[in-house]
Amino acid sequence: MIIDDSWDKKNGSTIQIEGDFIVNFKSKYQLIEVFQTKRFGKLLKLDGVIQLTEFDEANYHEMLAHVPLNIHKEPDNVLIIGGGDGGIVREVVKHKKVKSINLVEIDNDVIEISKKYFPNISCGLEDSRVTIMNYDGAEYIKNCTNLYDIIIIDSTDPFSVGASLFKEDFYSNLKKALKENGIVVSQSESMFYNKDLINDMYNFKKKYFNAVRYYYTMVPTYPSGTIGFHFCSDGNYLPIDNNKNEIKNLKYYNEFIHNSSFLLPTGVSI
């Protein structure tokens, strides 16, 4: 039994971890830890930073996946960069109109640990439409041209393994990898703690996409209780166009949350 106030290196948030220390494993790329917490279920940390808890992971995964999937009329081919825990894949496979899903995750140990300890999150990885590739996402995308209808960036934070996924040249390559009318959505940090980073990202994304909009979800586990995303397109699909949801039994996402998530607090200028 342990009681540990786990310090989030980025923003100084704490969450009390009270229970069993399940996994402490140093992969080729990062430290992977799994805890059993008292109130949040199992918890996954990478390089000391909380990635998800069973308690509220759906708030994040549903909003990152269903917003673009319910906008695009023909999302045949979907690319997910990062997200080795499988949460985004789980949500994407709920859309029967999707024909293929490529998951590019640099660290296969994250995938294997999630399969073992987070089966309710990683379950979509077994879908026949899913192809898993253990590559650096920034390197993989350099060789892609006109392949994907939707690209979802489920990155870690910009100071770790996922740092290259926050760079301008990465988005230049993403644009080339998209088909006509393609959509990119990306993890884009907290509107309360990371305004400068978000604004910098917005400015270079606008060089490649006509429509760039920030939206957010509420995740109590995360610092500030929120985490945000950028929706990027050439304007053929706008983020609140025709977002009819036909997916049942979701925990957080619905059509009203979809629209309201693009409305930011008055005091937030991003």
* CA distance to 4, 29, 94, 146, per residue, from 177 (Å): 43, 26, 24, 5
DSSP letter at 254 equals -
* Residues acting as catalytic residues: 154
Is residue 122 within 8 A of residue 54, CB to CB? The reply is no
What is the C-alpha radius of gyration for the chain, rounded to an integer number of angstroms?
17
| Angular region, 134: left φ>0, alpha ψ -120 to 50, beta rest | beta
In angstroms, rounded to a whole number, what is the distance separating the alpha carbons of residues 92 and 69? 8
Site of tokens 């923003």: 11
In angstroms, rounded to a whole number, what is the distance separating the alpha carbons of residues 253 and 243? 11
In angstroms, rounded to a whole number, what is the distance separating the alpha carbons of residues 116 and 19? 18
